[in-house]
Structure 1
Amino acid sequence: MKYIKQGLLALLLCGMGIVTVRANGKEKTVQIKSPHKQVAVNVFVENDRLSYTVLYANEKVIDVSPLGLTVDSVDLGYKTHITGAGKFSSLNEKYSVFGNHSSVINNANEASIPCEAGGRQFNLIIRVYDDGVALRYTIPAGTKYIEGESTSWNLPESTSKIAWSGFSQSYEAFSHVTQLSEIPENQPIMGPLTFEVSGKYLSISEADCINFSDMSFMRRDHLLKAYFPFAKNGWKVEHLTDNGPAVPDGSYKGQKVSPWRTTIIAKNLNDLINSDLLTNVCPAPQQGRDFSWVKPGRCLWQWWSVGAPKFEDQANWYDAAARLKWEYYLVDDGWRDWRKDGKDQWTLLKEVIDYGKKVGVQSIVWVDSKECRNAVDRRKYLERIKALGAVGIKIDFIPDATADMMQWYAGTMEDCAELKLLLNFHGSVKPTGLRRTYPNDITREAVRGNEYQISRYSRVMPFQHYVCLPFTRLMAGPADITPVILNPEELKSKQYTWANEFAQAIVFLSPVTHFCDQYKFYLESPMFDLFQTIPTVWDETKVLSCTSMGEVVGFARRKGNTWWIGVMNGETGRMVKIPLSFLSKMTEGTLIYDTQSNTAVDREKRTLSPHDTLSVKLAPGGGFVARIGL
């Protein structure tokens, strides 16, 4: 009777997409399949090492790879015993997000597999989606110290190219697309990483990182291993400062856990870019919490183009934002030095915020993180900013992403949620999907953006970097790249075209998009009317067939009934074809092309149908933009 029950259980689990395989009366391999059985994960012990493989459409896309977390000098992945079949569950829900599309389906199967190593009990938790895998570990009771992690991704021999970024404390190194062998060995590189395997695309990163140090990767041959560059010697588990009872503590279903280690798997680049795996594995907002006040939009700011803001000039910037019909203006670094007629910087800041309200433009305010590093100081500072009438905060110059600082990030998101402040972290760590939990975490830097294409610092960006970014940093979530340089003097050192610059605002997702240039270049632009209507979040996104990692990127994005197309080219001039089959009917379109000068555009208005295919010639560093529909 015992064996009949086991057989019935196996059949039931198989129907759920979960299969348990037994050998010699002991658990040897546990297999978990996705809801439609597109993805399968095998967990087993091989050569004394807890390991896993991943299959997509029955093809192995992650070879045998080590698992494990080292706690109190015990490697939980070494000489590990799988002590049971595990507990299985499924998830099926919907939610909204500001992103590549507006509605998300969260459908997965999950297994919590009990294991033992070195006398420590823990569970390996694996969640399997039709577009990827996430795994994490429960922290054994009594653990005092996290020393490292063995979780790895063993890339198949058929891996053809990989998108990656160099090491940087604030994720501001260059992005590249190369062969796997060109990534330096035994040196940290920053995720997410995206690679092609036999025509399929995989992207690896982490999610729901609340109180672990930030994870990078270390390559050895075909193996990419989790690595903590900001905590090389580990950290104490009971390290956290008091950020308040409402701040997430990194637990899952009542147990302390590591962050999710994530692998997105897609049959094409469109499915890759549209994956919601990182937000799917993060918690929903606290029950009853209202985030309807969070409003995406366009933002004008002055630091990139003119340096520190001058108090006397602020009305001009607010007026320009109003003419552009943009929602926000950022008062950036330099306002803290304002003094006039016996008034201090706080009084003057309130005056400019009040002026913005009069002309219909809301204010976001910059601050150095050193003014709000501990929970008490942070709360007082944020309350003061809120009391002045600002709707958001930009926090800059943040220290290394240790476990303590990751808890600081969580506390800051919570404080801003309670105070109803939009939040933009700069000089920061990458996001890990927690914008689902805190939609007010509207964007963040953690990217080598247009601050590195700026003449006053003699900084120049290679064309290739920008056509790599959608497959590196942008895979983690929105990035404040500060797009759209139009000043001809700023485009002499590297001749990006105006069409390429405008396309940045379409390709690079940032729900509050900070346009970097001086306002006169937008007001006087032949694209002025398009700047007035460009959205920052989307109902639907399609990756165009011309897209190739590290060479050229093209997105078609829909907001309401209007489609926007943005194409950015890399180092080599080319002709691309853009089929318009995503259109539902014949409609009017405005098309913006490269021309002979990189600081001018050819503009065309024409009627377009779903049967049309556009042929677009792109200069090196060139681009194309279209608005199609009302």
Structure 2
Amino acid sequence: MRSIVLTVISLLVLSFVSCKKENKKEPTQVMSPGKNISVDFFLTTNGTPAYKVFHKEETVIDTSLLGFELKEAKPLQDNFKLVASSVSSFDETWKMPWGEQEEVINNYNELELSLQEINEPFRKLNVIFRVYDDGLGFRYEFPEQENLKEVIITDENTQFNLTGDHKVWWIPGDWDIYEHLYNTTKFSEIDALSKKGHENLAQTYIPENAVNTPVTMRTDKGLHLSFHEAALIDYAGMTLKVDKENLLMQSELVGSDITGYKVKRELPFETPWRTIQIAEKAGDLIESKLIVNLNEPNKLGDITWFKPMKYTGIWWEMHLGKSTWDYSAQQDMTSFTTNAKPHGKHGATTENAKAFIDFSAKNNIGGVLVEGWNTGWEHWIGFEDREGVFDFVTPYPDYDLQEVVKYGKEKGVEIIMHHETSAAPRTYKKQQDTAYVLMNSLGIHSVKSGYVGKIIPKGEYHHGQWMVNHYNNAAIKAAKYEVAVNAHEPIKATGLRRTYPNIISREGLRGQEFNAWASDGGNPPEHLPIVAFTRMLAGPIDYTPGIFNIKFNNYKENNQVNTTLAQQLALYVVIYSPIQMAADLIEHYEAKPEALQFIRDVGVDWKQTKVLNGEVGDFVTIAREEKNTGNWFLGSITDENEREFNVKLDFLKPGTKYKAIMYADAEDAHWDKNPEAIKISEIEADNTTSLHIKLAPGGGVAVSLIEMK
């Protein structure tokens, strides 16, 4: 590991300088270590903080203003002078306990600026820029000061002034959910308000023409930009308000109808980082570790109690309608009663869980998720008052939790707990300790949490400050009980997995289940080739791949997965998560044992990752080396267009032979017409080999590269 190097390059103290005099000076500048990206900071003629960003001397972000509007106080927006500034460098290599790669280089140059109002009450505000070779992050600091003890933020006015009408891949700035399809338009054509009232979403609130982050763009010259945030702690999530005429984005924080403000904090504090990833090739966005690098180091220490794994579970069958989450048909209960009459379709039975454990044990799959195990599912959805619906410790009569856990341990398979909160976080908070104690006593180390529905109390939103704190505090508390959290209907990922590595994965996108029940045709073939360059830049995704029964046979005549079978296999490499579900039913896997072999073999924890090619929304090819084995796995996916190209395997270890097993689309494969047509072949390969890849419409290829000893 390289040693940490921290050197102060310069310290400029500029005291009692008027705003006008400051503007006559050269802008304060910081460049990335490789000198390909630079930032200029300056004050406008009225003392408003502003910045510009350059890539190889070409303007990427034009003059953009910074500041805040506060409740019952003057805005922190203008009349500033620069009191002091300093530039420093930082260079380290740190290890991920799990992740896309084992070692991460964290090398940046930092510019710190201290500002103070010229007039009373002489409030202070700091701005910090960290500039990397793959982008930059900047944040505000509210330092401790005499004339300001607390701020109530009604608006954060951080601007991103674009230099052209870029091509944009976006979802609306919904305060409640990220489960929208991506749109591909020019910036001037963004219309988030047209996405209001989606019939397939359990909750949604889009107050204005704004986009959620990460939002990715490509300039006319082919430069790729992605805007997001890092280290979202005790603050509201940020959407970006769109000014189509001026080609400008401005931060729009998620608010609260209860409090009427966006953020309330006591000083001192720091905001999240506002981030811009910059890449000449689309694939470099995926390889960037800017977001995790902008988070603090691991605060949990040793977390070897969590093991990255593949898992199966009682989940997909409910979406198909084969079984249900609820045990009885009683809908008018205020609480579950043991004499409730079962309707006979309950999925989470002891017998069913044992069947999944047996299947997992035979197929190198380490976990089983059981949804619908605890009482309350009869009356959790569609009811206005969902407080107290679930207690997270009481199983239905047909599910013996202790017996299932014991059976799993005998087979070497861990049970994954499920906590559906019904978007009633106050109930969940009261019961977390009890629920985590139960998990800890049973040796259960992973939980999938859910927050379906409108937040209770009414007026709070999934991505406001109150819920940001809830999600983060739930994960921090879980760590004390050696529990890792995979959150669904979550806040966005912002790299906190570095600081709290028990935050293992999350949903936060339109997932696989939409293929089973959405009335709009499900996720189109272009969906995941967009996701790889947008949502996946934020962090791991629990997408639940591996559907083999593409057309759903007798379950859902009007629904299907809009990919080929080969693409479903490729997703285990392309869409990253340290937990990967084999989501289909046991019988569908047993009907295709040759294709199942890839799921048996594929890794989940990686030593290194290489993005071999890709264009946003079109296609992407990724190769990953598994930790501790020397084996590599490759995945390639495309949109509705067929593609053909060669990929070099020059990343393989020199002088080593590999058994390459290719799971490819058959000649007549097609995402709709013939989705399950697959061709499996085997060759011997080394680092001089070039693989010919042919992808069917909506197709993919998965390759196992097993080191030959």
User: Counterpart amino acid of 2:238?
Assistant: M
Determine if the alignment matches structure 1 residue 429 to structure 2 residue 491: yes
User: Counterpart amino acid of 1:65?
Assistant: S
- What's 1:360 paired with? 412
Contact 1:165 1:472 in 2 (8 A): no
Separation in structure 1 between the aligned mates of residue 690 and residue 172 of structure 2, nearest angstrom: 38
Separation in structure 1 between the aligned mates of residue 167 and residue 691 of structure 2, nearest angstrom: 29
Moved more, 210-219 or 92-101: 92-101
Map 1:418-567 → 2, pairs under 5 A: 418-455=480-517, 460-490=522-552, 493=560, 495-525=562-592, 526-545=594-613, 547-559=614-626, 560-567=629-636
User: Counterpart amino acid of 1:32?
Assistant: V
Moved more, 218-227 or 552-561: 552-561
- What's 1:584 paired with? 653
User: Counterpart amino acid of 1:587?
Assistant: Y
Contact 1:213 1:228 in 2 (8 A): yes
Separation in structure 2 between the aligned mates of residue 135 and residue 126 of structure 1, nearest angstrom: 4
Determine if the alignment matches structure 1 residue 220 to structure 2 residue 243: yes
Question: 1:500–1:155: structure 2 CA closer, same or farther, 3 Å change rule?
Answer: same
**Structure 2 residue corresponding to 1:380, chosen from 425, 434, 444:** 434
| Offset at residue 528 of structure 1 (A) | 2.3
Contact 1:215 1:228 in 2 (8 A): yes
- What's 1:99 paired with? 99
User: Counterpart amino acid of 1:44?
Assistant: F
| Offset at residue 89 of structure 1 (A) | 3.2
Contact 1:20 1:30 in 2 (8 A): no
Determine if the alignment matches structure 1 residue 318 to structure 2 residue 369: no
Moved more, 143-152 or 357-366: 143-152
Determine if the alignment matches structure 1 residue 190 to structure 2 residue 212: yes
TM-score (norm 2): 0.79
Q: Secondary structure at the match of 2:653?
A: coil
User: Counterpart amino acid of 1:366?
Assistant: H
Separation in structure 1 between the aligned mates of residue 60 and residue 567 of structure 2, nearest angstrom: 34
Percent sequence identity is 28
Moved more, 202-211 or 603-612: 603-612
Contact 1:176 1:464 in 2 (8 A): no
Moved more, 518-527 or 456-465: 456-465
Separation in structure 2 between the aligned mates of residue 410 and residue 290 of structure 1, nearest angstrom: 19
**Structure 1 residue corresponding to 2:366, chosen from 320, 327, 336:** 327
Moved more, 432-441 or 391-400: 391-400
Separation in structure 2 between the aligned mates of residue 94 and residue 285 of structure 1, nearest angstrom: 13
Deviations 1:449-486 (A, max 9, x none): 10111158785221111110011111110011111211
Question: 1:15–1:439: structure 2 CA closer, same or farther, 3 Å change rule?
Answer: closer
Contact 1:588 1:606 in 2 (8 A): yes
Separation in structure 1 between the aligned mates of residue 590 and residue 467 of structure 2, nearest angstrom: 41
Determine if the alignment matches structure 1 residue 259 to structure 2 residue 259: no
Q: Secondary structure at the match of 2:680?
A: strand
- What's 2:261 paired with? 234
Contact 1:68 1:76 in 2 (8 A): yes
Question: 1:30–1:14: structure 2 CA closer, same or farther, 3 Å change rule?
Answer: farther
Contact 1:19 1:33 in 2 (8 A): no
Deviations 1:184-232 (A, max 9, x none): 2751221101112323222110111111111111111211111123448
Determine if the alignment matches structure 1 residue 395 to structure 2 residue 449: yes
Deviations 1:272-320 (A, max 9, x none): 211111111111122x732222211101112123443331211101111
| Offset at residue 271 of structure 1 (A) | 2.4
Question: 1:164–1:47: structure 2 CA closer, same or farther, 3 Å change rule?
Answer: farther
Question: 1:363–1:371: structure 2 CA closer, same or farther, 3 Å change rule?
Answer: farther
- What's 1:58 paired with? 57
| Offset at residue 59 of structure 1 (A) | 1.9
User: Counterpart amino acid of 1:228?
Assistant: L
Contact 1:509 1:537 in 2 (8 A): no
TM-score (norm 1): 0.88
Q: Secondary structure at the match of 2:584?
A: coil
| Offset at residue 165 of structure 1 (A) | 1.8
Question: 1:323–1:445: structure 2 CA closer, same or farther, 3 Å change rule?
Answer: same
Separation in structure 1 between the aligned mates of residue 191 and residue 518 of structure 2, nearest angstrom: 32
Q: Secondary structure at the match of 1:237?
A: strand
- What's 1:301 paired with? 313
- What's 2:233 paired with? 210
User: Counterpart amino acid of 2:348?
Assistant: K
| Offset at residue 373 of structure 1 (A) | 4.4
Deviations 1:471-502 (A, max 9, x none): 11111100111112111433874552110111
Separation in structure 1 between the aligned mates of residue 533 and residue 163 of structure 2, nearest angstrom: 19
- What's 1:245 paired with? none
**Structure 2 residue corresponding to 1:291, chosen from 303, 306, 323:** 303
| Offset at residue 371 of structure 1 (A) | 6.8
**Structure richer in helix, relative to its length:** 1
| Offset at residue 17 of structure 1 (A) | 8.8
Deviations 1:575-621 (A, max 9, x none): 23323232334432111111223213111101224333333222211
- What's 2:44 paired with? 46
Q: Secondary structure at the match of 2:548?
A: coil
User: Aligned Cα RMSD in Å?
Assistant: 2.8
- What's 1:612 paired with? 689
- What's 2:69 paired with? 70
Separation in structure 2 between the aligned mates of residue 350 and residue 268 of structure 1, nearest angstrom: 51
Contact 1:17 1:33 in 2 (8 A): no
Separation in structure 1 between the aligned mates of residue 570 and residue 172 of structure 2, nearest angstrom: 25
Structure 1 residue ranges without an equivalent (≥5): 1-12, 240-250
| Offset at residue 77 of structure 1 (A) | 5.6
Contact 1:40 1:56 in 2 (8 A): yes
Question: 1:303–1:18: structure 2 CA closer, same or farther, 3 Å change rule?
Answer: farther
Deviations 1:519-555 (A, max 9, x none): 232333222222112112322222223x111111211
User: Counterpart amino acid of 2:358?
Assistant: D
Contact 2:476 2:500 in 1 (8 A): yes
User: Counterpart amino acid of 1:588?
Assistant: K
Deviations 1:380-419 (A, max 9, x none): 2222232233221111016412211111122111111111
Q: Secondary structure at the match of 1:490?
A: coil
Contact 1:50 1:77 in 2 (8 A): no
Question: 1:385–1:588: structure 2 CA closer, same or farther, 3 Å change rule?
Answer: closer
User: Counterpart amino acid of 1:562?
Assistant: N
Separation in structure 2 between the aligned mates of residue 75 and residue 422 of structure 1, nearest angstrom: 43
Contact 1:17 1:109 in 2 (8 A): no
Separation in structure 2 between the aligned mates of residue 459 and residue 423 of structure 1, nearest angstrom: 31
Contact 2:283 2:615 in 1 (8 A): no
User: Counterpart amino acid of 1:498?
Assistant: L
**Structure 2 residue corresponding to 1:31, chosen from 26, 29, 32:** 29
| Offset at residue 113 of structure 1 (A) | 0.8
Q: Secondary structure at the match of 1:629?
A: strand
Contact 2:662 2:681 in 1 (8 A): yes
Moved more, 394-403 or 187-196: 394-403
Moved more, 364-373 or 34-43: 364-373
Q: Secondary structure at the match of 1:430?
A: coil
Q: Secondary structure at the match of 2:409?
A: helix
